[in-house]
């Protein structure tokens, strides 16, 4: 039996509609339009696509966007100055700095300067800390979106084993926190893990966030497991054309898993939908309004 394909694009579009309704409600009750500032530094083609998609999503969600596109050689001080300006702008409820930044700019310094109450990406150390102690704050968008997809197919994770492959600050570590909050028994695996295939085979929920195309094979997956593929890798096909693949060998994995996210159309659209959700949450919080 082949796996249920978790349609992240459809679920993200449904979320956009819910967000739009809530944004309109906030505007009607408090005269506040949620606002998201998006900063892109440089010409990385993938980043440009993601930013374009984020700005398109703001329009679908009734969120006002403030777009800042800066040249690749922009000095760090200029980016820091822009962040400060946005921190002080009452029309801006969320600030997003697209990563990666060019090498002359210290990402930690920029992310650390974002007002934690406007940190729509959830990367500020204060929000990282709040998540780790289970207090309300901003949750990074990719893990938040992945958790929503998991909940759709398995609402109760008590007694379930989850394996997160990858330990990045923006995906792996926050994903572990969210799975723990849902009472899963969580293992974090990474490049130094011994016998990674065997560890993956223990997972009822397997989250792949390694950034290596199709690394996780079908026979690494426990039959019936939920597989969440966070990877977005551009590879060349034999005909020389490019295509997107995840970190999981999808065609093999779907024959073993119970449910699986595709790439594209799985976690990616949910990342963007959760950025909208974080911005909406922030606007409600700032306005002192009830959802």
- Residues with catalytic roles: 54, 98, 121
Is 201 annotated to bind ligand?
A: no
Distance CA 49, CA 9 (A): 16
178-237 residues near ligand LMY7XDAE, rule: CB under 6 A: 232
Nearer to ligand LMY7XDAE by Cβ, of 146 and 206: the residue is 146
Number of residues in the chain: 291
Structure tokens at 166: 């990858």
Strands 242-245 and 233-236: antiparallel
Q: What residues contact 124, with CB distance under 8 A and at least 6 apart?
A: 111, 112, 114, 116, 138
Candidates 25, 265, 286, 287; binder of ligand LMY7XDAE (CB under 6 A) is 265
Candidates 58, 74, 98, 278; binder of ligand LMY7XDAE (CB under 6 A) is 98
Interface with ligand LMY7XDAE (CB under 6 A), residue total 19
* Contacting range for ligand LMY7XDAE; rule: CB under 6 A; set: 77-85, 185-193, 264-272, 283-291: 264-272
Q: Can you tell me which residue has the tokens 């926050």?
A: 174
* Contacting range for ligand LMY7XDAE; rule: CB under 6 A; set: 17-25, 45-53, 200-208, 213-221: 45-53
Candidates 10, 43, 49, 156; binder of ligand LMY7XDAE (CB under 6 A) is 49
Ramachandran region, residue 118 (left: φ > 0; alpha: ψ -120 to 50; beta: rest): alpha
Contact status: 95 vs ligand LMY7XDAE (CB under 6 A): no
Contact status: 99 vs ligand LMY7XDAE (CB under 6 A): yes
- For 243, the 3-state DSSP assignment is strand
- For 119, the 3-state DSSP assignment is coil
Helix and strand element counts for the chain (H, E): 10, 11
114-173 residues near ligand LMY7XDAE, rule: CB under 6 A: 121, 141-142
Q: What residues contact 7, with CB distance under 8 A and at least 6 apart?
A: 265
8 Å CB contact between 147 and 162 = no
Burial of 43 (0-12, 13-18, 19+ CB in 10 A): exposed
Contact status: 268 vs ligand LMY7XDAE (CB under 6 A): yes
Contact status: 263 vs ligand LMY7XDAE (CB under 6 A): yes
- Given the rule CB under 6 A, which residues bind ligand LMY7XDAE? 49-50, 53, 96-99, 121, 141-142, 232, 244, 263-265, 268-269, 271-272
Report the binding-site residues for NADP(+): 166-168, 232
């Amino acid at each position: 039996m082949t796996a249920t394909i978790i349609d992240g694009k459809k679920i993200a579009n449904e979320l956009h509609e819910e967000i739009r309704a809530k944004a309109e409600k906030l505007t009607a009750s408090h005269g506040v339009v949620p606002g998201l500032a998006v900063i892109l530094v440089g010409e990385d083609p993938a980043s440009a696509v993601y930013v374009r998609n984020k700005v398109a999503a703001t329009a679908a969600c009734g969120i006002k966007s403030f777009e800042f596109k800066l040249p690749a050689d922009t000095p760090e001080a200029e980016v820091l100055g822009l962040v400060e300006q946005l921190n002080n702008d009452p029309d801006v409820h969320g600030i997003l700095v697209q990563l990666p930044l060019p090498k002359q700019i210290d990402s930690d310094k920029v992310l650390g300067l974002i007002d934690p109450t406007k940190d729509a990406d959830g990367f500020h150390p204060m929000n990282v800390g709040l998540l780790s102690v289970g207090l309300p704050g901003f949750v990074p968008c990719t893990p938040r979106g992945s958790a929503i997809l998991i909940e759709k197919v398995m609402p109760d994770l008590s007694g379930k084993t989850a394996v997160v492959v990858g330990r990045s600050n923006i995906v792996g570590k926050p994903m572990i926190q969210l799975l723990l909050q849902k009472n899963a028994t969580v293992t974090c695996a990474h490049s130094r893990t011994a016998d990674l295939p065997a560890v993956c085979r223990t997972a009822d929920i397997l989250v792949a966030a390694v950034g290596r195309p199709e690394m996780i094979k079908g026979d690494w997956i426990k039959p019936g497991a939920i597989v969440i593929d966070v990877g977005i890798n551009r590879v060349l096909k034999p005909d020389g054309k490019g295509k997107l693949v995840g970190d999981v060998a999808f065609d093999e994995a779907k024959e073993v898993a119970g449910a699986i996210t595709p790439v594209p159309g799985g976690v990616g659209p949910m990342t963007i939908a959760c950025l909208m959700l974080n911005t909406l949450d922030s606007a409600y919080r700032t306005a002192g309004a009830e959802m």
